Structure 1
Amino acid sequence: MRTPMNPKARRTTLALTAATGLAIAGLGLGTQTATAAVGSAHHKVTFTRSCAVPQHAGYLACNALRVTGGTTVRTRLAHPAAAPRSAAGRADGSVSGYGPADIQSAYNLASPAAANGAGETVAIVDAQDDPNAEADLAAYRSQFGLPACGSDNGCFSKVDENGGTNYPSPDSGWAGEISLDLDMVSATCPNCNILLVEANSASTEDLGTAVNQAVALGAKFVSNSYGGSESADEVSADSSYYDHPGVAITASAGDSAYGVEYPAASPYVTAVGGTSLTQDSSARGWSESVWGTSASEGTGSGCSAYEAKPSWQTDSGCGNRTVADVSAVADPATGVAVYDTYGASGWQVYGGTSASSPIIASVYALAGAPGANTTPAADAYAADPSALNDVTSGSNGDCGSYLCTAGPGYDGPTGLGTPNGTAAFSG
């Protein structure tokens, strides 16, 4: 059963620390290196953060990582002859990065029972405008043979944070994030409608206002691929922006290894960690480990400094809210294919927990609308363990406990595990 929540009326602005106080290692934009198992070999890739470091208090950064070099997995296009060429394109009709068939196979979403989502709307909340969002989405879906999803057939819509068309100024970094988010919803739930809500800025207030707008427009599934350092003010921000009973709200756990970000720390959201995803010869056909490349690169996790422990979370090594709840692919070295032309040249490969958050939001959509007055984040904790792929290897730091090291059952970096169908995401 889903857990009831008590709505709070107070609205306030979260005051996060300034960039100089962001205690998240590696949040800069410089190119970094990751190594992960791809097939039977190890491949080194370089990547860069898509969004700039916040320069003022109360601003957040997206958790998208764009691959800039190295060898990643490849996926076959449905219509290779028409594929636009880019650095990620291949002459053999494939592109680098996992595609929809891979995501659906890895997470057991391709069965008729799971491949629905028709009539459900997944909302994506990001900052700034991507002028090419609809066109790039159409290109991605066409190349992978997915149903058309545009404004003309009512499948795709884009609004500003107030629900209108006074879009914010464009930003190429956030445009990459937007393309990643839209493509991951498409890959995971091809029949879902998509609502893109663009916040006026990357401030907590604007992004939170966009979350509220998404819910006001009827979305029951809202993905947030951004975060920043915790602050004592976040508890009041919870009630202002993220306390929406009966709405599945997901948030990225972060890309800077062990440590907790907000809003992933909020007890009203499903905190989504990241894995390295590898195709293999097992019965499942896939294996996963914690995405943790170095002390400053990997999925976020840990024990919140400010948020009380929700009743449905029972791990004993953290008296407060523990991050994460569940997880999905996020390692740039086992990254996903994305199509982006605003500041980019078409096919790209992305990683980061910005990939895992919209994947999980879309799995919730496949499972169906949450019940009224419930906390969807609690669903996985009440589910049969077989409804999740338990991730038992890897770490994202040296904390000395399950908060940064995977093992059987719950752990911080991957939560309860990754989706094995949709059963763990319905009340």
Structure 2
Amino acid sequence: MRTTTSPSTPAISGRWRRTAASALGTAALVLAGLGTAAHASAAPATPAPAAPAAPAAPAKVTWTATPCATPKHQGDLVCHSFRVTGGTTAFQKERAAETGKAARVTPKAAAASPTGYGPSDLQDAYGLTDAAAAGGSGETLAIVDAYDDPNAAADLAKYRSYYGLPACTVAGGCFKKVSQSGSTTSLPTADSGWAEEESLDLDMASAVCPLCKILLVEATSSSMANLGKAVNEAVALGAKFVSNSYGGSESASDTSYDTSYFKHPGVAITVSAGDEGYGAEYPAASRYVTSVGGTALSASSTTRGWTEKVWNTSSTEGTGSGCSAYDTKPTWQTDTGCAKRTVSDVSAVADPATGVSVYDSYGVTAGWYTFGGTSASAPIIAAVYALAGTPGSSDYPASYPYADPSALNDVTTGSNGTCSSTAAYLCTARSGYDGPTGLGTPQGTGAFTG
């Protein structure tokens, strides 16, 4: 597993800046008055106090790829998640700025309380607070992953209880876990690495669409054939929204996988774009799915209250993007830099330094962790689709954002690698469509309905 360090220091909120400025101004006036009084009384000079020490620089954020980011067998697909192991995350810095207290440092093991963004942060950042309070009821959002997480239901209950979200239990008919064949009793082999991925996916679905029913479909292994069968099972069981946070190298077989596993009109299927920087992966490159890139999300003093840029840590780590070598370009994509399918379509938070809070207990110390990777952004976007409502029965919902790009937050800064100067938008953000962030990030649900 690779470990990464980020020097990212997100902007603090405008409210804290104003408070700090006011306090400094008051202090300056008091000091000025004291200086005048001392001069009038001609008091003996005293040595000037030593200048206060400069505050320590925020601890750099470190993270490691989760075990499922390494394939078990040749041809297996990998998950797109990272777990933060140290430093001070964006969430901690922003809370410290609001309270005036020193920012805590994320422990290497599980924390007793969240150290990443929670539901209210994500809903606020993406203009979804009202929609999340009223939308998604009755909709089934499916999460497709490999192997079994024995603690999925219990960990999901911990997350939802902590944040005050409605309970989503098996007994209540809200949560269901099945194998790729639909069995609730004959489940795949348990795997702690993929269990982390499943916790991340379930928690992000809950954070954005608290009223959705959640269906977890666990594939027997992380092969495309088994994960594809799990996608088909999710649709067969009635899910109109299916999130996939995995991928791998493209191959000549992809076009057959398209028709076998991802060609489901009337179903919004989201796929993470990948975490290795510039370059297209499959199934994000499928013409039938919504490919989801990743951003760094930080609080700001803008009207929106948040700002985003392309997630990129190094030349080998950051959101994926690029041209498919095999998949035909869908009719709704009109960019000219790729003759075939272009990745991505839309995006959401993925930078581990500005990561999301997750509760996990299987194979690790039970507690709160902060995660990043485009494994976070894919279920977030699937949940936004669910808030927007059931797609048209003959639609491919990947086309929806292209019909109303003004209903998205346009991400215009950052890059995820090096690409052709004649098609720089494939790896560099700009106004309008670009590869790393697609058309942008959610600004309400308007761009995700037909």
Q: Distance in 2 between matches of 1:176 and 1:221?
A: 21
Deviates more, 1:265-274 or 1:396-405: 396-405
Q: Which residue type is aligned with residue 137 of structure 1?
A: L
Q: Which runs of 5+ in 2 are unaligned?
A: 13-56, 96-106
Cα drift, residue 36 of structure 1: 2.4
Deviates more, 1:117-126 or 1:339-348: 339-348
Q: Number of aligned pairs?
A: 387
8 Å Cα contact 2:69-2:80 kept in structure 1: no
Question: What does residue range 93-132 of structure 1 map to in structure 2 within 5 Å?
Answer: 94-112=113-131, 115-132=134-151
Equivalent residue number for residue 168 of structure 2: 149
Q: Distance in 2 between matches of 1:229 and 1:266?
A: 12
| Counterpart selection for 2:3 from 10, 27, 31 | 31
Q: Which residue type is aligned with residue 398 of structure 1?
A: T
Cα drift, residue 62 of structure 1: 0.5
8 Å Cα contact 1:149-1:156 kept in structure 2: yes
Cα drift, residue 209 of structure 1: 0.3
| Counterpart selection for 1:65 from 82, 85, 90 | 82
Q: Distance in 2 between matches of 1:207 and 1:418?
A: 27
Identity among equivalent pairs (%): 66
Q: Which has the higher helix share?
A: 2
8 Å Cα contact 1:109-1:115 kept in structure 2: no
Change beyond 3 A, Cα 1:115–1:173: same
Equivalent residue number for residue 73 of structure 2: 56
8 Å Cα contact 2:277-2:416 kept in structure 1: yes
Structure 2 SS opposite 1:111: helix
Q: Which residue type is aligned with residue 355 of structure 2?
A: G
Q: Distance in 2 between matches of 1:393 and 1:375?
A: 29
Aligned pair 1:47/2:69, yes or no?
Answer: no
Cα shift readout 1:312-371 (whole Å, capped 9, x = no counterpart): 000011111000000000000000000000012210000000000000000000000000
Larger radius of gyration: 2
If asked which structure has higher relative contact order (CA below 8 Å, sep 6+), I would say: 1
Cα drift, residue 38 of structure 1: 2.2
Cα drift, residue 43 of structure 1: 5.5
8 Å Cα contact 1:391-1:406 kept in structure 2: yes
Cα drift, residue 108 of structure 1: 0.2
Aligned pair 1:354/2:371, yes or no?
Answer: no
Equivalent residue number for residue 253 of structure 1: 273
Change beyond 3 A, Cα 1:112–1:201: closer
Change beyond 3 A, Cα 1:44–1:113: closer
Structure 2 SS opposite 1:369: coil
| Counterpart selection for 2:350 from 327, 330, 333 | 330
Q: Distance in 1 between matches of 2:91 and 2:302?
A: 20
Equivalent residue number for residue 175 of structure 1: 195
Q: Distance in 2 between matches of 1:329 and 1:112?
A: 19
Cα shift readout 1:157-186 (whole Å, capped 9, x = no counterpart): 000000002111111110000000000001
8 Å Cα contact 2:148-2:218 kept in structure 1: yes
8 Å Cα contact 1:114-1:367 kept in structure 2: no
Q: Which residue type is aligned with residue 327 of structure 1?
A: S
User: What's the TM-score once normalised by structure 2's chain length?
Assistant: 0.84
Cα drift, residue 52 of structure 1: 4.4
Q: Distance in 1 between matches of 2:110 and 2:406?
A: 36
8 Å Cα contact 1:97-1:334 kept in structure 2: yes
Equivalent residue number for residue 81 of structure 1: none
Q: Distance in 1 between matches of 2:153 and 2:354?
A: 26
Cα drift, residue 119 of structure 1: 0.3
Q: Which has the higher strand share?
A: 1
Q: Which residue type is aligned with residue 430 of structure 2?
A: G
Question: What does residue range 18-417 of structure 1 map to in structure 2 within 5 Å?
Answer: 29-40=1-12, 44-50=60-66, 51-74=68-91, 87-89=109-111, 94-112=113-131, 115-164=134-183, 165-345=185-365, 346-383=367-404, 385-399=405-419, 400=421, 401-417=424-440
Structure 2 SS opposite 1:97: coil
Q: Distance in 1 between matches of 2:397 and 2:417?
A: 28
Q: Which runs of 5+ in 1 are unaligned?
A: 1-28, 77-84
Cα drift, residue 71 of structure 1: 1.0
Q: Which residue type is aligned with residue 391 of structure 2?
A: P
8 Å Cα contact 1:304-1:323 kept in structure 2: yes
8 Å Cα contact 1:63-1:353 kept in structure 2: yes
Structure 1 SS opposite 2:9: strand
8 Å Cα contact 1:273-1:415 kept in structure 2: yes
Structure 2 SS opposite 1:395: coil
Cα drift, residue 115 of structure 1: 3.8
Structure 1 SS opposite 2:83: strand
Structure 1 SS opposite 2:426: coil
Aligned-residue RMSD, C-alpha: 1.6
Cα drift, residue 113 of structure 1: 7.9
Change beyond 3 A, Cα 1:42–1:377: farther
Structure 1 SS opposite 2:124: helix
